[in-house]
A and B are shown apart, each in its own frame.
Chain A
Amino acid sequence: MTPTTAARAGLVSCGTCGLLAQQASGVAPGHCPRCGARLASRRRGSLETTWALVIAAAICYIPANLLPVLGTTTLGSTEYDTIMGGVVFLYTSGSWPLALIVLIASVMVPLGKLLALVYLLITVQRGSIAGNRERTRLYHLVEFIGRWSMLDVFVDTFTVALVQLSPLMSVQPGAGVVFFAAVVVLTMIAAASFDPRLIWDAATTTEPDIA
């Protein structure tokens, strides 16, 4: 027995207010009678948009990690630090718990998010029906954890804002920060444009039952 989904029953759940409405027609579901938003059985162009944003984020991930995020000028000489450099600095200065937090939030989470989204996109496109619950949970993990990668951007901002004691010591932001912020923003929008219902669609048919 295939489960009865809204799509099969010719119904559509409003993406804005959650109201269940009768589709006006299969081609154009119409608008929500409660909130007036345009109805769509599945988010329009979900896979294409998510792919485009994931690829853009993956490209930004490279300069984000290779370019310096901070430059420290002490008495005329400037030293540049990448994200990993910042982690090493925290580790060698004795605060290894913080080093671990920054390593997880800035290096592992963005990479993990990109890999998870690619995995979800590929399994959906191949019509996989295995581990649907786990994939839905993975999707929500990606959605929930995304914001935490902004940590390093805030650390850099407040370090730069506070340490302006020239000529003694001053800190400047490096070119890597903006790429890093771009990775976070792009992956957050990518996760928001992915439609988790696509994970479940392979197991059922989305064609309305005409019986």
Chain B
Amino acid sequence: MTGAGHAETLACPDCDLLQVVPELPPGVKASCARCGRTLVTQTADSIERPLALSIAALLVLILANTAPLMGLSVVGQQASTTIVGGAWEMWHQGQELTAVVVAFCAVFAPAAYLLCTLAVLLAARRPPAPRWVGELLRWAEAMQPWSMVEVMMLGILVALIKIAELAVVEPDIGMYAVGVLMLLIPAIQSSFDPEAIWKRVTWADDESLPPDGAVQAAGTPDPRSAP
């Protein structure tokens, strides 16, 4: 894609220092000379690998949301719950706002993150990618901090141990699915390189991919005020 030996001028997002980053071999990181923040991580395979992982993660996400998380039995009575069942019970018990936060962080944000990532990767396989890819990439990045699968996993474990004091609890398929998801999502994040995607997306100002290296001038009329 990008020409070999292309150096790129970047400003550090943490301290604003301007620096020239040379074309890096795969697996090599460049960090800021002033504050130490990682500026560029050259991933070996920034499309196919995260693509395969996000398809797998979406399938596991469906399983995690449909299968029961755990079951409980005490003197003949049985009960089980799913992730959505947990949010629904909070809503039912008068904690509507908490239910919305739980549903957002446990179901909506991970699903939106995975779907956006998948669409971005599929569309970016053959550059130039259309402009909506950039929009979806922005969505995926906005959803990432709110997708709390690993926090939920620990929460389920603590709840399980707490309830085990009162009754017999059994982990179920849903809980194992959440555990697998907890490993898949960070694997996607570490193999995914947003910069590699941005390099394949059609520019907002002209309908092409300008050569990289040179610093472009900002557009003056705000696109939001344009028709």
Q: Which residues of A contact B (CB under 8 A)?
A: 3-7, 9, 11-13, 15-25, 28-39, 86, 89-90, 93, 95, 98, 101-102, 132-133, 136-137, 143, 146-148, 150-165, 168-169, 172-173, 177-178, 181-182, 185, 188, 192, 196-197, 199-201
Residues of B within 8 A of A188 (CB): 145-146
Alpha-carbon gap, A20 to B13, bound state (A) = 10
Neighbouring A residues of B216 by C-beta, 8 Å: 19, 21-22, 33-34
Write out the residue numbers on chain A whose beta carbons fall within 8 Å of the beta carbon of B198. Answer: 17-19, 34-35
Please tell me if the beta carbons of A35 and B74 are within 8 angstroms of each other in the complex: no
Determine whether B156 belongs to the interface, using a CB cutoff of 8 Å to chain A: yes
On whether the beta carbons of A31 and B222 are closer than 8 Å, the reply is yes
- Contacting residue for A147 out of B131, B148, B165, CB 8 A: B148
Asked if residues B205 and A33 are in contact (CB atoms below 8 Å), the reply is yes
Cross-chain contact of A185 among B75, B101, B201, B215 (Cβ < 8 A): B101
- List B residues 1-36 near A (Cβ within 8 Å): 9-18, 34-36
Q: Bound complex: CA of A155 vs CA of B98, how far in Å?
A: 12
Q: How many of B's residues come within 8 Å of A, CB to CB?
A: 76
CB-defined contacts of B77 to chain A, threshold 8 Å: 165, 168
Closest chain B residue, CB of each to CB of A17 = B198
- B35 and A136 form a contact (CB under 8 A): yes
CB distance from A82 to the nearest CB of B (A): 15
Contact A98 B102 (CB under 8 A): no
Contact between chains at A159 and B90 (CB < 8 Å): no
B211 at interface (Cβ–Cβ under 8 A)?
Answer: no
Contact for A102 among B16, B90, B158, CB less than 8 A? B158
CA distance A177 to B98 in the complex (A): 7
Contact A151 B158 (CB under 8 A): yes
* Chain B residues with CB under 8 A of A196: 13-15
Task: Assess the B85–A161 pair: CB atoms within 8 A.
Answer: yes
Whether A162 lies near B72 (C-beta < 8 A) is yes
Residues of B participating in the A interface, judged by any CB pair closer than 8 Å: 9-18, 34-37, 69-70, 72, 74-75, 77, 79-81, 85-90, 93-95, 97-99, 101-102, 105-106, 131, 134, 138, 145-146, 148, 151-152, 154-156, 158-163, 165-167, 169, 194-195, 198, 201, 203-205, 215-220, 222-224
Q: Cβ of A89: which chain B residues have Cβ within 8 Å of it?
A: 162
Instruction: With A36-B223, A168-B75, A169-B166 as known contacts, state yes or no: A161 contacts B15, CB within 8 Å.
Output: no
Q: A16-B138, A31-B204 are in contact. Are A159 and B163 (CB under 8 A)?
A: yes
Residue of B whose beta carbon sits closest to that of A132: B35
Cβ contact within 8 Å between A178 and B16: no
Chain A residues, Cβ within 8 Å of B145: 143, 146-147, 188, 192
Q: Which of chain B's residues has its CB closest to A29's CB?
A: B218
In angstroms, Cα B199 to Cα A19, docked, is 10
CA distance A177 to B79 in the complex (A): 23
Whether B201 and A200, one on each chain, are in contact in the complex, defined by CB atoms closer than 8 angstroms, is: no
Q: Across the interface, which residues of B come within 8 angstroms of A146, CB to CB?
A: 145
Known contacts A133-B35, A160-B86: A6-B16 contact under CB 8 Å: yes
Flag if A148 contacts B151 (CB, 8 Å).
Answer: yes
Among the listed B85, B106, B146, B218, which residue makes an inter-chain contact with A154, where contact means beta carbons less than 8 Å apart?
B106
Q: How far is the CA of A177 from the CA of B86 in the complex (A)?
A: 14
In the bound assembly, the distance between CA atoms of A60 and B158 in angstroms comes to: 24
State the 3 A-B residue pairs at the shortest beta-carbon distance, nearest first.
Answer: A154-B155, A30-B218, A36-B204
Please measure, in the bound complex, the distance between the C-alpha atom of A11 and the C-alpha atom of B214, giving whole angstroms: 12
Q: Residues of B contacting A28 with CB < 8 Å?
A: 220, 222
Indicate if the CB atoms of A13 and B13 lie closer than 8 Å.
Answer: yes
Chain A residue nearest in CB terms to B74: A165
